[in-house]
Amino acid sequence: MKPEYTDEQISGNYELWEQYADPHGEMNREQFDALDIDTKISMLIEMFPDEPHKPHAAGTAPDTSLWLGNTRRAWLKGHGGIQPTIHAMIDRAMKRNP
């Protein structure tokens, strides 16, 4: 579908959306603008489940380096952020599988 663009880029640009996600013009510009980026990224993942997805460009800030959605992002922030969460997850896995 879109190897040179991230899901975030396509979801934020109506022309890319038309080209890659909606070539038959089922969504007009007003409808596109009414949806937030997270919703459009979810739609892309649903439309193309067998394709690899790059939610964000490499090198973006840690809070936006992967697509989480609002609920997961809020939970993660409430638990100290991504690094402590990853460290705790790895520590638990290492205890189960030394």
The domain segmentation of the chain, as residue ranges, is 1-61, 68-98
76 has a pLDDT exceeding 60: yes
Place of tokens 């109506």: 14
84 has a pLDDT exceeding 80: no
pLDDT tens per residue, range 12-36:
999 999 998 998 999 999 999 999 8
- Kindly provide the residue ranges of all beta strands, DSSP E only, lying in 1-98, ordered along the sequence: none
The Cα diameter of the chain in Å comes to 54
Q: Which residues of 51-85 are buried (b: 16+ CB within 10 A; e: fewer)?
A: eeebbbeeeeeeeeeebbeeeebeeeeeeeebeee
55 has a pLDDT exceeding 50: yes
CA-CA distance, 89 to 49, in Å (whole number)? 26
